[in-house]
A and B are shown apart, each in its own frame.
Chain A
């Protein structure tokens, strides 16, 4: 009989780079992104809380405070994981045109790798990282291929059309959603021994190839959509049922920030849809998982909440298990692309 702990967190890329480099997307987008109207590139025209973050140093001070809170929450999550002593961690994360490209885009895929090897700092454009580690450093984490095959098998038997893989396809080993999360969970580099089973979710759907999983558009041709929130919820439910009946102690983890500014057209790609995020947060606080199950995909996309699909899988699992959310921290931001929710589901 398995035991399950749920965790929601983030894999926020700018956190990897020292603040003085202004690693948040907006810093670059103000210079280069034609989607942002010229008049809105003037901070004087921004909403008041956003101008407050901009401050007198273009956000450097506010970013430090923002990151400190997020990192504090990571330490809390690590304590919870250590106390739980999982046999492995199943992590739902998105693949932004990294491992999966034109030669196959699965809605979901269990990565049943022996080992996860990756070079995360190759993605930070030559800037240093906050640990002052070499930029060509290769990280190696244990996978759990037996559990990965088991999970894929049981999901397929249950009618979920789950893809699986034994080794990477493209990219540098594992998508940043998984890599960054691991880097942050081992923030103090004391070692993080828990094997990982990544499960990819095609959160970027209509834009995954067209935008190569980002904000810039490389083609006019829209791709097929993401799996629906309802389907993600069902996959989370099925995953929880299967692992509850397994012999393992498992952390089910969803990793992503919520509304992303660079995906939120209604806010001119300047800031995230915090209004929509707060609604989602209140629903989780209230244990109202049914509302998450019924989220329309178009609504999520309009709010730049594409990556929340990872959390919808977790919400499905929590609903199946009757788990309640304990919020570790909810860190809002206007300037730094996306608010971060970090939470435990018992």
Chain B
């Protein structure tokens, strides 16, 4: 009889690097296709204006960073207390491991282990740990557990792909960042990891290489070049429920972790790709907090994309799993940030 700990975290790339995490706002302000009204802070939402303040968001960035680190330490403490046999991570693949030669909507990575150099070739600046560019992390997998899950899901009518080794990239940033942050204090991360890749970027995964876009960059993409869509959020909810059933019927103690920030500014077309859909985030957060799964299990992909909730598909999997187990969050927090691209949520569902 398996045991499950549920966690929700983020893999927000900005946290890896030194400096102001709100610098993307300046890029937006310099974009010629940004609507004129948004060039003046007077026309911004009051919270956004307050966060930007008179220091170009520096104080907000510092506070947001400190909050993120705090909640990552708490998540790690939950993990350590639970002592999982392995960690299942739902994360998105942004044209990293999966490319034109095959995009599976869902894929379980049943690796033995992979070596990852997260700082090699990065342009974002110095990492906050001052680790060298050739620093190599060995991430141990749990092939047997991953195969158990793949088998159970296939028998349950979930068309999940699996792999024993990487194709184009050893481990996408959604997974690697999550591990870097869960080991923020570099005491070591010894739990085997089963990455579960969700094609969250759907129509933009190949056409835009799953990359952040400004209004000018987005305008260059026409409808006819877009790819097939991401899996439906309601389908991800079903997938999560199937995962919970499979683990419950297994001998394993598993921490299931959804990793992504919530509404992404650079994906919210209606907000000129400048700030996230905080109202929608708040609504889904409130539903999560109270274990009201009705909106989570009925959302369509068009609705999710309108809200910049592409990466929330990872959390739809977690929601499905927790609904299947009848769980309500033991702890959760909403970290509102209008100017760092995204709001972040942390959640803990203890067994």
Contacts and interface: CB of A to CB of B under 8 A. Distances in A.
B101 A108 contact: no
Given A156-B231, A225-B154, A103 B103 contact: no
Contact of A224 (B162, B227, B230, B232): B162
B167 A103 contact: yes
A114 to B, nearest CB: 11
Most buried by B among A104, A209, A235: A104
A109 B102 contact: yes
Interface string B141-181: 00000010011001101111111111100000000000000
A167 B101 contact: yes
3 shortest interchain CB distances as A-B pairs: A161-B159, A103-B167, A106-B161
Contacts of B164: 102-103, 209
B102 A156 contact: no
Chain B interface main SS type: loop
12 contacts: A102-B165, A104-B98, A104-B102, A105-B163, A106-B104, A107-B159, A156-B232, A159-B232, A161-B235, A163-B159, A166-B101, A227-B154
B236 to A, nearest CB: 10
Contact of B159 (A162, A164, A167): A162
B296 to A, nearest CB: 16
A100 to B, nearest CB: 8
Contacts of A165: 100-103
A106 B102 contact: yes
B308 interface: no
A105 B101 contact: no
Contacts of B231: 156, 161
Contact of B102 (A159, A169, A225): A169
A41 interface: no
A228 B157 CA distance: 7
Which bucket holds chain B's interface residue count? Answer: 35 or more
B256 interface: no
Contacts of A160: 159
A231 interface: yes
A159 B163 contact: no
Interface in A222-245: 223-228, 230-231, 234-235
A108 B157 CA distance: 12
B161 A104 contact: yes
A230 B161 CA distance: 18
Nearest to A161: B159
Contact of A149 (B101, B147, B228, B232): B228
B100 A108 contact: no
B206 interface: yes
B228 A107 contact: no
Nearest to A297: B155
Contacts of B158: 161
Nearest to A165: B102
A70 to B, nearest CB: 32
B150 A224 contact: yes
Contacts of A231: 154, 157, 159
B235 A159 contact: yes
B229 interface: yes
Contacts of B206: 166
A231 to B, nearest CB: 5
A129 interface: no
B100 A156 contact: no
B154 A157 contact: no
A226 B297 CA distance: 27
A89 interface: no
A213 to B, nearest CB: 15
A153 B229 contact: yes
Interface in B181-239: 206, 227-232, 234-235, 238-239
Contacts of B227: 149, 164
Given A161-B159, A164-B103, A166-B206, 10 more contacts: A102-B164, A104-B162, A107-B154, A107-B160, A107-B161, A159-B232, A159-B235, A164-B102, A169-B167, A226-B154
B147 A224 contact: yes
A39 B121 CA distance: 63
A310 to B, nearest CB: 16
B159 A224 contact: no
